[in-house]
């Protein structure tokens, strides 16, 4: 399954680009990923434990709203096929 457009951090990055067109898509995605990578000690997105997914999504929603004013409508675990 290709999750590229559905990954929460990418949606956050895309909202950042819409808010500030001086940002490139690549730079915004790299910055958003870097924040999550540090916060959750990840080397790749798939390393995020299922039990931390809801917390991570809540963090992304809050960070996106605080940095862009955009409220993201993000997929639930069941929509991504991530049920334990």
Note the pLDDT of residue 76: 60
Burial bucket for residue 75 (CB in 10 Å: 0-12, 13-18, 19+):
middle
Distance in angstroms (rounded) separating the CA atoms of residues 60 and 66: 10
Residue 40: closest CA among 29, 26, 50, 25:
50
pLDDT tens-place string over residues 6-58: 678 888 999 999 999 899 999 999 999 999 999 999 998 889 898 898 899 89
pLDDT band at 4 (very low <50, low <70, confident <90, very high): very low
pTM equals 0.77
Question: Residue 7: helix, strand or coil by DSSP?
Answer: coil
Phi/psi for 8 (5° steps) reads -55, -40
Note the pLDDT of residue 50: 87
Distance in angstroms (rounded) separating the CA atoms of residues 30 and 53: 19
């Amino acid at each position: 399954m290709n999750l590229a457009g559905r990954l929460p951090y990418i949606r956050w990055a895309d909202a950042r680009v819409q808010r500030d067109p001086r940002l490139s898509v690549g730079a915004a995605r790299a910055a958003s990923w870097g924040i999550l990578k540090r916060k959750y000690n990840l080397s790749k997105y798939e390393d995020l434990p299922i039990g931390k997914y809801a917390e991570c999504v809540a963090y992304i929603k809050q960070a996106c709203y605080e940095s862009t004013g955009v409220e993201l409508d993000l997929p639930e675990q069941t929509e991504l096929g991530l049920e334990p």
